[in-house]
Amino acid sequence: MKTTPSDKGQNPDYQDIPGFDGVRMPRKAQTARAKDLLRPEAMTFIVDLHRKFEPERQRLLAQRKERQRAWNAGDVPGYLEQNSPAVTGDWRVAPIPEDLQCRRVEITGPAESAKMVINMLNRSAAGVRADAAMLDLEDALKPSWENILNAVTNIAGAAAGTLVHIDPARPGRAEKEYRLNVDDTATMIVRPRGMHLHEINFSVDGSPISAALFDVGLCLFHMVHALMKRGKTPAYYIPKCEHHLEARWWNEVFGAMEKNFSLPKGTIKATFLIETLPAAFQMEEILYEIREHGVGLNVGRWDKIFSDIKSLGYHADRILADRAAITMQKPWMEAYARRLVQICHQRGAFAMGGMSAFTPGSSPEIREAQIAKVTDDKRHEASIGHDGCWVSHPYFIEHALGAFVHQNQLDVMYRDQDKYPDLLPRSDGPKTLAGLRTNVRVGIAYLEGWQRDIGCVAWDNLMEDLATLEISRAQTWQWLHHGVELDDGAKVDDSLVRQIFSEELQKIVNEECEEIAKSRAADRESVVQGFTRAAQTAEEIFTRTEMADFLYEASEPAA
């Protein structure tokens, strides 16, 4: 499953691109849409970005590896020196544009579906809409070449206000058109892929281009003029940052992009997801590095749990409990969220809360229980000072809005709170067979969707994306590595994990596949085969002796 970049320079499937020395693409990637999006001016822009910033990106990624080796050997992440300009200086982020000043509820979803993008930006059937929509090219989107190009196309259409989707007529249902309500849409924010990923369908000087630079560059090229014409801000969510020097790199990338388009300094704005354990210790330093372009930080709770496990996976005293037990009320999680609010607000930046990952349940009773959980979760986030939060489905927007009654809460400062709390994860909490079964079910369901080119799946009344798959993968590996004895008495070993995979696959086949086949208008046997292949792949990944840093590090070749 893990894909790694390699030098495609001599691969016969790759062709030189006329007029661009050192640029090569596979024949299959050179579709009509690719040629339209990668027009000469766009090609020049992203190639120049890559050549300028790739050497430093490689150095930063090498430093990540060095830090992880030290943690594997027994070290732990910690705070930096407390006498730096970032800590002692009298600074604030640059003024926040008007269209980014109210972000009480943000809805997130993959950007490759025009229908989904329109539904995220428009009001729901209930007449409510989110304040902002995070159009995702990262955890919610499988980075196939077609998906990435579709996402860029939809982002360009959303920026211009021209995006349209038509559901064709079907037996018993008329044709339906989806169109943006241009005068009443959520603020769009784009999330590119992380700086550790590679886009192998576009090679520069013998190596795949940085997926992050490909995404931010190509999206900006196709959205910036339309946004500026409409008085809107080109805005990004930046994922997976691990160090303030990585934030400095991003800040320089934004500056170079502004210079290319003759934009005033600080025009591009970014919110950084604090979703890794090392970044939690460097929030203030990260915000300082992006103060020209930064408008806030976000508590990326699901990736943070994955990072907690990955960073300290070899530490026997840091083995985490069941995923469902790791709530924001856990001491290290609440300390991380409160610290983010404290630092952001004292520096004039927004402190965004995390994701409620529910999808509407199949019965009124399930939906009522979900609404209660969403409401409690968002009230808690509002109570500690967050300025807004995320939801994964329009159904929950109005319930989340009810918890955030103010435009923002920048006045919540926590001036008397310790700025350097203990942020290291703790082992307290249940470790159960049910928790292991949840991990296995998520692995099977997510990878079945991945086979169908889907990067997020609705499963067991939750929206599972790459972050939650990574939690399941990493936790299963950690429990296996340490031979954890579960509260139920079973010891986690290779045979137990494989047994659970067999049992959960059979349960899915017996209880789920019939309804899934009906919903997809597919035959049951093909659905069963898909889940069987996914279970085999997930089992192989989950039982590896060594845990890979990420499920994948490069995109797949164009089909």
Instruction: Please provide the DSSP assignment of 455-487 as one string.
Output: S-EEETTEEE-HHHHHHHHHHHHHHHHHT-B-T
Contact yes or no for 99/187 (Cβ under 8 A): yes
Element housing 198 (H / E):
strand 198-204
Give the phi and the psi of residue 178 in degrees, each rounded to 5: -115, 130
Tell me the three state secondary structure of residue 451.
Answer: helix
Q: Quote the CA–CA distance of 116 and 279 in Å, as a whole number.
A: 31
Catalytic: which of 339, 441, 465, 473? 465
**What per-residue confidence (pLDDT) applies to 549?**
94
pLDDT digits (tens, 9 = 90+) for 301-336: 999 999 999 999 999 999 999 999 999 999 999 999
Q: Where are the domains of the chain?
A: 433-542
Contact yes or no for 410/373 (Cβ under 8 A): no
Pair type for strands 235-238 and 164-167? unpaired
Residues 6+ apart with CB under 8 A from 90: none
Reading the block at residue 300, the tokens are 């990326």
Determine whether 452 is an active site residue.
no
Q: Quote the CA–CA distance of 282 and 86 in Å, as a whole number.
A: 10
Contact yes or no for 406/373 (Cβ under 8 A): no
Counting Cα atoms < 13 Å in the Cβ hemisphere of 370 gives 22
Task: Give 491's DSSP letter.
Answer: B
Element housing 148 (H / E):
helix 145-160
Contact yes or no for 111/141 (Cβ under 8 A): yes
Contact yes or no for 209/202 (Cβ under 8 A): yes
Reading the block at residue 264, the tokens are 């005033």
Q: Whole-angstrom distance between the N-terminal and C-terminal Cα of the chain?
A: 16
Counting Cα atoms < 13 Å in the Cβ hemisphere of 143 gives 27
Which residues on neighbouring strands pair with residue 274, listed in sequence order? 299
Q: Quote the CA–CA distance of 206 and 85 in Å, as a whole number.
A: 40
**What per-residue confidence (pLDDT) applies to 8?**
42
Contact yes or no for 448/456 (Cβ under 8 A): no
Exposed/middle/buried for residue 87 (C-beta within 10 Å: 0-12, 13-18, 19+): middle
pLDDT-flagged residues of the chain (< 70): 1-12
Of 288, 293, 290, residue with least CA distance to 89: 288
Which residue's entry shows tokens 């003759």?
A: 262
DSSP string spanning 49-68? HHHHHHHHHHHHHHHHHHHH
**What per-residue confidence (pLDDT) applies to 7?**
45
Which residue's entry shows tokens 């990952």?
A: 357
Pick the CATH number of 433-542 from 3.40.50.10440, 3.90.1150.10, 1.10.260.40, 1.20.1220.12: 1.20.1220.12
Q: Quote the CA–CA distance of 295 and 237 in Å, as a whole number.
A: 10
Of 481, 457, 450, residue with least CA distance to 551: 450
Which residues on neighbouring strands pair with residue 166, listed in sequence order? 177
Q: Quote the CA–CA distance of 559 and 551 in Å, as a whole number.
A: 20
Rg of the chain over Cα atoms, rounded to whole angstroms, equals 23
Q: Quote the CA–CA distance of 403 and 378 in Å, as a whole number.
A: 6
Contact yes or no for 207/553 (Cβ under 8 A): no
Catalytic: which of 64, 191, 318, 323? 191
Determine whether 465 is an active site residue.
yes
**What per-residue confidence (pLDDT) applies to 171?**
84
Element housing 350 (H / E):
strand 350-356
Side chain identity at 494, as an amino acid letter? D
Reading the block at residue 444, the tokens are 């099977």
Beta strands in 384-440 (DSSP E): 388-391
**What per-residue confidence (pLDDT) applies to 362?**
87
CA angle centred on 36, ends 32 and 40, rounded to 5°: 125
Residues 6+ apart with CB under 8 A from 375: 399, 400, 402, 403
Q: What is the pTM of this model?
A: 0.96
Q: Quote the CA–CA distance of 87 and 160 in Å, as a whole number.
A: 40
Of 302, 293, 253, residue with least CA distance to 273: 302
Residues 6+ apart with CB under 8 A from 126: 394, 398
